[in-house]
Amino acid sequence: MAHFPNTRMRRNRRDDWNRRLVAENTITANDLILPLFVHDAEKEHTDIPSLPDIQRHSIGSLIDQAGKAKELGIPVVAVFPAIDSSLKDAEGSEAINPENLVCRAVKALKAAHPNLGIMCDVALDPFSDHGHDGLLRDGYVANDETLKVLAEQAVVQASAGCDIIAPSDMMDGRVGSIRTALDSAGHEAVRILAYSAKYASALYGPFRDAVGSTSNLANGEKKTYQMDPANSDEALREVAMDIAEGADMVMVKPGLFYLDIIRRVREEFGMPTFAYQVSGEYAMIKGAAENGWLDWDSTIMESLLAFKRAGANGVLTYAAIEVAQRLGEG
């Protein structure tokens, strides 16, 4: 055991160069995934009031934003659609249209930025008129029937050029169904980043505003398929199932309130593990910064370091471009 005064822990904290030299965790642009919202509208982009400084983009504007991300060294962008309400129905049928907004956006992104990774969410909530992630039957989301639609959705996205399929629906057996469908369609190289431990959190509100699913969410909650925030062991069972079914990477969502889950997943499985700094987490920090209560740069960087310290390989964050710009400035 080290003893004072021979050991002085503050010595290695004295200078900036020394603090950088002994840092146990760092953030680089390679650790970031940028979520982007796309809409079919005449305006290049529209603001999302509950997500300060974040916009819905036209496909042209989306290409520009993705280009900025690529130039800054961000390896992947994730595409989330705001679907016109006239295209939504109870079956979420627009999700399997090979010419839907997501597929057209992915094709355009791949044509413009062929070396940029593209990630696509698999779930029915942006496409359904009831706002749930699966097919609603007598007020309950039908698991097995939903799997068939999710598999079709994954295939049309992969055929459009999506590199990473990210099932966020939390149906039992979805990873296996999607892996089988992708392989059968010749997409063996397409990766699956599973939202394996996705909790029924109160922190998704701004995201639902962004994709337009807030006002039509039947029953107002998703507790029958997303995880109970009280549970930790259950998360390990969910992750184990997804790995066994063919997941290449796993995710914990939300991130900041669930650092203990990230740590347990990484230690238990040693799998590439990602965190989603969800819309509510981003909005809280951004809102506090805009009110002068917190310093934005310091707080957002500290939050990302918390994910890395917990064991995350990377983070989906709406702040990715701002963070990468700051990192580039040294």
Q: Per residue in 230-280, pLDDT tens?
A: 999 999 999 999 999 999 999 999 999 999 999 999 999 999 999 999 999
Q: Which residues, at least 6 apart from 302, have a Cβ–Cβ distance to it below 8 Å?
A: none
Of 198, 222, 286, 308, catalytic: 198
Q: Name the superfamily (CATH) of residues 26-328.
A: Aldolase class I (3.20.20.70)
What residues form DSSP beta bridges with 89? 128
Among this protein's residues, is 198 annotated catalytic? Answer: yes
Taking the alpha carbons at both ends of the chain, their separation in whole angstroms is 37
CA dihedral 310, 261, 158, 278 (to 10 degrees): -80
Among this protein's residues, is 43 annotated catalytic? Answer: no
pLDDT of residue 1: 77
Classify 161 in phi/psi space as left (phi over 0), alpha (psi -120 to 50) or beta: left
Measure Cα distances from 262 to 96, 172, 235, 284 in Å: 32, 21, 10, 21
Are the C-beta atoms of 33 and 277 separated by less than 8 Å? no
Q: What percent of the chain has pLDDT over 70?
A: 98
Structure tokens, 66:
């993705």
Of 107, 222, 253, 308, catalytic: 253
Query: What pTM was computed for the model?
Result: 0.95
Query: Which residues in the chain land under pLDDT 50?
Result: none
pLDDT of residue 330: 64
Are the C-beta atoms of 188 and 161 separated by less than 8 Å? no
Q: Per residue in 62-98, pLDDT tens?
A: 999 999 999 999 999 999 999 999 999 999 999 999 9
